[in-house]
Chain A
Amino acid sequence: MSRPAPAARKRTRKDTAGRPRRARRTEARNARAAAAFVLPFLALFGLCFLAPLGYALHQSLQKTERTGPLGLGREHEAFAGFAHYAQALSDDRFLTGFGRVLLFGAVQIPLMIVLATALALLLESASARGIAFFRTAFFLPYGVPGVIASILWGFLYVPGISPLVKIAESVGWHVDFLSRGTVLWSLANIVTWQFTGYNMLVLIAQLKAVPGELYEAARIDGANAWQVARHVKLPLIRPALVLTGVFSIIGTLQLFAEPMVLRPLASSIDSGFTPNLHAYSEAFVGNNPHVAAAEAVLLALVACVLSFGFLRLAGGRAEGRG
């Protein structure tokens, strides 16, 4: 942010050098043109990002009161302070849901990224045959929406219909994908299935951007395939790893469609299974929009803190600037 100062000084020097009008005219023209290009986006950004956040903040601090005898009179809004936040934060189910999603992310995200990295490196190693086929096969699930993926895997989890359960039972292994202890990891499997190939493609693209001489040089120095991967490729794809990490964190906190679709099949998934599910049922089942708004604000806050924190931790802060 320290850039504008020298620029401004330069401009004043130019001004005294006899071209003030032209410089000022350029600036004004710049501002007009920029406004025309940026404003349509900013207007919709304001409507769909800033306004809802502001509205949620406002709503989370309000409460509905009724006046008159027995509280049957007219409704009106009153300031509630942080009561709804306190209510959300003292709700065991909401907190458990948050904990569950954090645990989910702590296990699923590293697993998925390690798997994606391994597949990317394998595909990029010279010895892989049928690369195009494998790449397409791994990427295909990304084209399956979360809801459809969940319906699909739901059928593969339910005992009466799943061929997987049948095969497991024929070798004497009794699995229950939907029990209280396993259902979270059955959901993790759906998410991993969907997004590993996408992350793999991001990593492959970054690997392709690495100049080939670098690998050659390492090989000439006597490094084997594993050493090249570990000491040359991995450090170079770090920015892409950070990017996939941040998107995975944001995605995990939004976890909703998968548990929502599996709910009718698994009694172990309740209406507070994830923070999002909890906010949704507060709003539409519990008819409690103020608490739902507070929970949405908390969710956005935690997502921002976690992804910013991760960016800092990964040293990727500089990556965001063009």
Chain B
Amino acid sequence: MTRPPARYRIITASLLTVAALYFLVPVYWLVVSATKNSADLFGTFGFWFSDPHPVDYLTAVLAYDHGIYARWFANSLCYAGIGAVCATLLSAAAGYALAKFPFRGREAVFNMVLAGVLIPGTALALPLYFLFSSMGLSNTYWAVLIPSMVSPFGVYLCRIYAAAAVPDSLLEAARIDGAGEARIFGGIGLRLMTPALVTVFLFQFVHIWNNYFLPLVMLSDSDLYPIQLGLTSWTGYADRQPVLYQYTVGGAFLSVVPLMVLMTVLQRYWRTGLTEGSVKA
């Protein structure tokens, strides 16, 4: 391949650098600000350090209100982790069946799932709250966990992937060998669908972790809050208690760092699995 002219390379590099500045500057601001106390947060220039004590300040975030921050973090992990694992398994089973078992009403079920992809989650959250509160489920872990286990997009992706990646002949061979359907699914189906499952898990994990509306609507007990909800409750009190501004910034920093590391490490999977939905049409 011929090398493009130098002029072209310089333009490309500068455009990419400008874009990188746009995406990284807020993150940089967060890193700098997490090392400041309340007074410096307001009094000093935001893009430079001033008397940094990151460890002291972040410990203070963790200690505040009997360590409520750690509790929120654990809640978030629990909602996103358990929710995403269950959603992935349920989607895998449903997608596998929709791809591999011709049965009456199959297309109707699939179309219903597709419609589910197009319904905005927040339009469902309010009715879901009314429904759950009439069942006595609101303001419990279940109120956030149960809806997190359903991923129509996951089913859609698993069906497309299973149709392409799980050969019928292999399933037939296993059946002739006398294996039960559950064993075939667990031993062959799940294994061949692994790339799609990783994608569904990551999607759902990030989706649940970032979800704000559902927990806001469902939960009133701050012990059940995920991290986002906890941090906004701090900003709500910050007018009366200015130190909470500092804790909000520190808490945001602490919650964002692990996710960013995860994003960087898992980027590869996103790129490979992400577009199954649109490529394998």
Stretch from B51-59, B61-69, B89-97 that touches the partner: B89-97
In the complex with contacts A42-B94, A127-B8, A205-B272, A303-B256 CB distance below 8 A: no
In the complex with contacts A44-B150, A56-B126, A163-B29, A140-B260 CB distance below 8 A: yes
**Cα distance A320–B155 in the bound complex, in angstroms:** 12
Can you name 20 A-B pairs with beta carbons within 8 Å? A34-B106, A48-B147, A51-B131, A53-B119, A119-B16, A127-B8, A144-B259, A147-B232, A151-B249, A163-B47, A201-B270, A202-B275, A205-B271, A239-B281, A257-B212, A261-B232, A283-B126, A299-B123, A308-B118, A320-B281
Stretch from A69-77, A80-88, A154-162, A172-180 that touches the partner: A154-162
Residues of A within 8 A of B256 (CB): 143-144, 148
Number of interface residues of A (CB under 8 A): 113
Find residues 256-275 in chain A having any chain B CB closer than 8 Å to their own CB: 256-257, 260-261, 264
Cβ of B228 and Cβ of A33 under 8 Å apart? no
Cβ of B146 and Cβ of A256 under 8 Å apart? no
Interface bracket on B: 35 or more
Cβ of A55 and Cβ of B126 under 8 Å apart? no
Cβ of A55 and Cβ of B131 under 8 Å apart? yes
**Cα distance A219–B41 in the bound complex, in angstroms:** 54
**Cα distance A48–B129 in the bound complex, in angstroms:** 10
Stretch from A91-99, A102-110, A288-296 that touches the partner: A288-296
Pick the 7 closest A-B CB pairs, nearest first: A163-B46, A37-B97, A56-B127, A52-B127, A41-B94, A34-B101, A143-B263
Cβ of B45 and Cβ of A166 under 8 Å apart? yes
Q: Give the interface of B toward A (CB within 8 A).
A: 1-4, 8-9, 12-13, 15-16, 19-20, 22-24, 26-27, 29-30, 33, 41-42, 45-47, 90-91, 93-94, 96-99, 101-104, 106-107, 109-110, 112-116, 118-124, 126-131, 146-147, 149-150, 152, 155-156, 159-160, 163, 181-182, 185, 206, 209-210, 212-213, 217, 228-229, 231-232, 235-236, 239, 248-249, 252, 255-256, 259-260, 262-264, 267, 270-272, 274-275, 277-281
Residues of B within 8 A of A208 (CB): 271
A57 — nearest CB in chain B belongs to which residue? B127
In the assembled complex, A126 has its CB within 8 A of some CB on chain B:
yes
Partner of B228 from A123, A145, A209 at Cβ < 8 Å? A145
Q: What DSSP secondary structure best describes chain A's contact surface?
A: helix
In the complex with contacts A55-B130, A55-B131, A152-B19 CB distance below 8 A: no
Cβ of A322 and Cβ of B122 under 8 Å apart? no
Cβ of B123 and Cβ of A254 under 8 Å apart? yes
Cβ of A209 and Cβ of B127 under 8 Å apart? no
Cβ of A322 and Cβ of B278 under 8 Å apart? no
Cβ of A293 and Cβ of B264 under 8 Å apart? no
In the assembled complex, A171 has its CB within 8 A of some CB on chain B:
no
Partner of B116 from A45, A119, A133, A160 at Cβ < 8 Å? A45
In the assembled complex, A313 has its CB within 8 A of some CB on chain B:
no
In the assembled complex, A319 has its CB within 8 A of some CB on chain B:
yes
Residues of B within 8 A of A130 (CB): 16
Cβ of A303 and Cβ of B120 under 8 Å apart? yes
In the assembled complex, A279 has its CB within 8 A of some CB on chain B:
yes
Residues of A within 8 A of B160 (CB): 322
In the assembled complex, A5 has its CB within 8 A of some CB on chain B:
no
In the complex with contacts A1-B107, A127-B8, A209-B275 CB distance below 8 A: yes
**Cα distance A250–B3 in the bound complex, in angstroms:** 42
Cβ of B228 and Cβ of A147 under 8 Å apart? yes
Residues of A within 8 A of B185 (CB): 37
Cβ of B210 and Cβ of A146 under 8 Å apart? yes
In the complex, how many angstroms separate the beta carbon of B225 from the nearest chain A beta carbon? 12
In the complex with contacts A127-B12, A140-B23, A143-B263, A280-B97 CB distance below 8 A: no
Cβ of B13 and Cβ of A44 under 8 Å apart? no
Interface-central residue, A48, A251, A292, by most chain B CB under 10 Å: A48
